[in-house]
Amino acid sequence: MEASRSFVSRSEGSAQSDIFSGLTVALALVPEAVAFSFVAGVPPMVGLYGAFMMCLVTSVLGGRPGMISGATGAMAVVMVNLVLEGNALGGAGSHAGLQYLFFTLLLVGILQSLAGIFSMGKFIRMVPRSVMMGFVNGLAIVIFLSQLKMFQSGGEWLEGRSLLIMVGLVVLTMTILFLVPKVHKKSPGALIAIISVSLLVLFVGIDTETVLSFVQSNGGSGIKAGLPSFAIPSVPFTWNTLVFVTPYAFILAAIGLIESLMTLSLIDELTDTHGHGNRECIAQGAGNFINGLFGGMGGCAMIGQSIINITSGGRGRLSGLVAAAALLFFILFTSEYIEQIPIAALTGVMFIVVIKTFAWSTFNIMNKIPKWDVGVIVLVTFLTVKYDLAIAVICGVIISALIFAWENALRIRARKMVDEHGIKHYQIYGPLFFASTALFMSKFDVSDDPDEVIIDFQESRIMDQSAIETINKLTEMYHRSGKTIHLWHLSKDCVRLIKKAEKICVVNVLEDPDYFVGIDDYRKYREHVEFESL
């Protein structure tokens, strides 16, 4: 990722760069949208409409200029079951699954917008660096594996001359894309590479798969169509329908937000800028809601196209607007030309994206970071490839949290001393929470302690209910032994919660700006101790 950052930082945003990068993204969106539509089990035009509307809406309303949204594989793999079950509900030949998908997207849009309105985008901060690296590496591998399918025809791997032509054109595209920035940094390398290879194939008459043959091999007829039209999803508006689509809506909304916010964080890092997660949540919701009304398959942020955009110089909202407008223009007026673009050219561009996306610094830091972090990186990478992004990120965050809890549980310790009045002091250090309560209890010797004990929490913090119950238990133990216990430096919220402890022991707290407590109790206590010692 460090290499990617240095590459990106050299390219300054401009209107010209936004326009050229937007055109490049539009070309790359075509086969991606078509491929994901077939994964979801919907017609190709539904995927293309979805890519157009998601790209347009998020470019205008989104919280991350330069980030590209469209139809994605992460959401498509969930949609396929929704469409199949919807078709079954509608009966044979009804194709009701598509209408159920549109209705679900309306709910997805509402849920994602509510997440932004209630500022849930900030929770992306809870994703550790190790999870982020695993996410990036996993997506790079997923993109790479998805492009390997382009080396197949009719489900069979290319062989002989066809394979050599495909590999040669891919390598040529990658070479052009690598050399163009060295000649002129601001040149749209990806667009030049795609046009150059397309012209070579056209004029030399090279027999290789094109966008048209790719669409036809997947059951479509082409990408030419009209404007998307408004229509209310034709599903029965009943309680059963709501029960059926709601679980899918929650899953799709979660996957879309996680992938979008993770991509936003990555683009922030690569461009040294700061996006707005909550605004992006609202934009993603608006995009999916509009898809449900205008017949698109919806989607979320696309890391591959976003990387293409920013590495081509697209930093502003104009790049996304150009990509959306160009994609619609291709569908309406120039489909016959776009259909002649060789798949090898687009595959070559995506391979460059893989190289720039993968966090190669992972190998350099393996021996410099904790072994737990290495394990999290590997696990998240594997789960992203094996299952999907949402499962990978959620598992990575949970495991990281458990590791953090375990390591902090070992930090609890107590310094012990007996003062001149025979009072034993326990000075507690470290956080007291569910994982550290057992170790905390082991620090005390109730039976052998003197009649008066002070536990000072000035260097500690009570974190949860488990900690409070542990203090209650400890005070009960001292109470049963006929001894008095004083709790110092507890914050007021802790004092209010330890109702049981207040009844059976003396809770003394120090007034201090850091702890929001009262000094009068401490002074009265010291006066009491000094008076008793006379």
What is the C-alpha end-to-end distance of the chain, expressed in Å?
70
**459 within 8 A of 512, measured Cβ to Cβ:** no
**pLDDT beyond 80 at 187:** no
Write the pLDDT tens digit of every residue in 216-228: 776 667 778 888 9
Highest mean pLDDT pick, 182-186, 312-316, 493-497: 312-316
Say which range, 27-41, 261-275, 325-339, 395-409, has the weakest mean pLDDT: 27-41
> In whole angstroms, how far apart are CA 395 and each of 50, 430, 435, 519?
29, 27, 19, 45
Element (H, E) at 235: none
Dihedrals phi, psi of 410, to nearest 5 degrees: -80, -5
- Its pTM stands at 0.71
Tell me how far apart the alpha carbons of residues 391 and 330 are, in angstroms, rounded to a whole number. 36
Domain ranges of the chain: 2-144+158-401, 412-533
Which is nearest to 165 in space by CA: 199, 208, 213? Answer: 208
Which CATH class, in words, describes the domain spanning 412-533?
Answer: alpha beta
Q: Are 511 and 522 in contact (CB under 8 A)?
A: yes
Q: What's the confidence (pLDDT) of residue 495?
A: 66
| pLDDT band of 516, cuts 50, 70, 90 | very low
Asked if residues 483 and 451 have their Cβ atoms less than 8 Å apart, the reply is yes
Separation of alpha carbons 252 and 111, rounded Å: 10
Instruction: Take residue 518 and report the two structure tokens written for it.
Output: 């009262």
Q: For residues 303 and 139, give the distance between their C-alpha atoms in angstroms, rounded to a whole number.
A: 8
The residue behind tokens 């997947």 is 218
CB atoms near residue 13 (< 10 Å)? 19
| Bridge partners, 441 (sequence order) | none
